[in-house]
Chain A
Amino acid sequence: MKMVAEEPQGPPVELSVFSGPLDLLLHLIKQNEVSIYDIPIFSICDQFNAHLKEMQELDLDSAGDFLWMASWLLHLKSKMLLPQVDEGAEDPREELVERLLAYRRVKELASFLHDSDIVRRCLWIPEVAADVGAGEEAELDWEDVDLSVLAQAYLYVMQRFAASHPPPIKVLPLRFRVEDKMKDIYELVRTDGLVPLLRHLNSRSDPVEVVTVMVAALELVRLRGVFAEQRRPFAEIYLRPGDRTLGAQELLTRGENGG
């Protein structure tokens, strides 16, 4: 990550470019051109908080880390305000300096790895056909075996097991028959004269039954046993007696005899 040097009063840099509160702190120290061993806590603390305010959105995890650092800086600031009673007392900033130095070493090594990553990403290696040595399992280095490798192997085995053992197909007993429903509806229409089909369907909770009733109604209409009418789209569908009388036999065989 390359930080562009700005004047101290420049616009706050977006926080997402910092990998953590220590990163931001190092940036501020560099920007203010001050020594890491003699951090002007007052101004650094204020600048840190200014950056924090600019934080429009930050996930809870990293926001917490930044807030923790802000509170630490405030704590140091208050300590610095107190008069030093004991001359030999250690600098309250010491721990912060140590953390910053340790983090700076990490950053330097990370930047070395970054440069190496850029170059080495451009290397290509011969593509070895998958069937080379397919006869035997590739041998694993003991060093490379860890929990994640085992977990991967386990997941792979379980996947293979699941693939070769599909769950059995459940055959549900036939609960509703179109013929029965045809008979029910036909008799209902004959006695009531006018049957609201949609209301009739809505009163059923079982989707299988709803479908069966619907098919039965359509079948009856086809056989001209009942007529269906609807005033306008999506309105209630009314069933009324049709122009043909259907016998019990005809209902039972779904009108195949009647053609």
Chain B
Amino acid sequence: MDKDTLTAVVEAILLTASGPVTVSAVTEAIGDRKVGEEEVATIFEAIGKNFEKPGSGLRLEKVAGGWRCTTPPTLDPYLRSFHGIAARQRLSQAALEVLAIVAHRQPVTLPEINFIRGTNSASVVRTLLERGLLRMAGRKKVVGKPFLYRTSKEFLVHFGLERAEDLPDPEDLVKDETATVE
């Protein structure tokens, strides 16, 4: 299979896939012994680079262990106008805090989340479960056997992360640890 055909195949798969596409899945789909995962990976990189120019409305990004076709954020107003969609709802402060706690300390239980936030977070956790940004991951073997929560694949996709570990360390984010002004 020559490089042009290979590029065309990968592009077509990206356009029609409903989620992030892994290199291994594409390699398997091509089913050519001479085409290895390394070659497919370079094709992805090349396509991504090719999209990355001012005159292109397409972008390629690496999320949740795969590649996905998307649009530059700057085009959002036009797309919303075309699809007739008003401004979309953002995640609330409470939801973001719960996500931050789970992402940083997973697996984590609701009482632990409540303790760190200093306030009850049960309804926020429920909403995030419904939105698929959190998932349940068994129960903790302590009294009461509370559910353990983890971030989902959808979380990685939404925030453009390859793995949950790619989030910055909150210690590095705190700018002025000793906010003292005399």
* Contacts from A to B (Cβ < 8 Å): 1, 19-23, 29-30, 33-38, 61-62, 65, 69, 99, 102-114, 116-126, 128, 132, 141, 143-144, 146-148
- B153 and A143 contact, CB distance less than 8 A: yes
* Docked complex Cα distance between A32 and B77 (Å): 41
The answer to whether A109 and B173 touch (CB under 8 A), given A1-B93, A120-B73, is: yes
The answer to whether A36 and B179 touch (CB under 8 A), given A110-B96, A117-B96, is: yes
- List A contacts of B88 (CB < 8 A): 121
- A109 and B16 contact, CB distance less than 8 A: no
- Of B69, B70, B90, which is within 8 A of A118 by CB? B90
Residue of B nearest to A143 (CB): B153
* In the complex, B99 has a CB within 8 A of chain A: yes
* In the complex, B118 has a CB within 8 A of chain A: yes
The answer to whether A119 and B96 touch (CB under 8 A), given A35-B179, A113-B159, A144-B135, is: no
* Docked complex Cα distance between A30 and B15 (Å): 49
| Residue contacts A-B, CB under 8 angstroms, 20 given | A20-B117, A21-B118, A36-B179, A102-B116, A105-B174, A107-B97, A109-B168, A110-B97, A114-B90, A116-B160, A117-B158, A122-B73, A122-B74, A126-B16, A132-B16, A132-B18, A143-B153, A144-B153, A146-B135, A147-B136
**B74, B79, B179, B180: residue with the most chain A Cβ atoms closer than 10 Å:** B179
The answer to whether A120 and B96 touch (CB under 8 A), given A20-B119, A35-B178, A125-B68, is: no
Tell me which of B2-10, B34-42, B43-51, B100-108 binds A: B100-108
* Docked complex Cα distance between A116 and B99 (Å): 13
- List B contacts of A34 (CB < 8 A): 180-181
The answer to whether A103 and B117 touch (CB under 8 A), given A19-B94, A109-B170, is: yes
The answer to whether A120 and B71 touch (CB under 8 A), given A102-B116, A109-B167, is: no
Residue of B nearest to A69 (CB): B118
- A113 and B117 contact, CB distance less than 8 A: no
Residue of B nearest to A148 (CB): B129
- List B contacts of A147 (CB < 8 A): 136
A3: shortest Cβ distance to chain B, in Å?
11
- List A contacts of B90 (CB < 8 A): 114, 117-118, 121
- List B contacts of A107 (CB < 8 A): 97, 100
- A128 and B178 contact, CB distance less than 8 A: no
Residue of A nearest to B120 (CB): A61
The answer to whether A119 and B73 touch (CB under 8 A), given A35-B180, A110-B96, is: yes
Q: In chain B, residues 9-27, which have Cβ atoms closer than 8 Å to a Cβ of chain A? A: 14-18
Residue of B nearest to A22 (CB): B118
A133: shortest Cβ distance to chain B, in Å?
9
- List B contacts of A128 (CB < 8 A): 16-18
- B97 and A146 contact, CB distance less than 8 A: no
Residue of B nearest to A1 (CB): B93
* Docked complex Cα distance between A113 and B180 (Å): 27
Residue of B nearest to A99 (CB): B118
* Docked complex Cα distance between A124 and B173 (Å): 29
B171: shortest Cβ distance to chain A, in Å?
7
Residue of A nearest to B15 (CB): A126
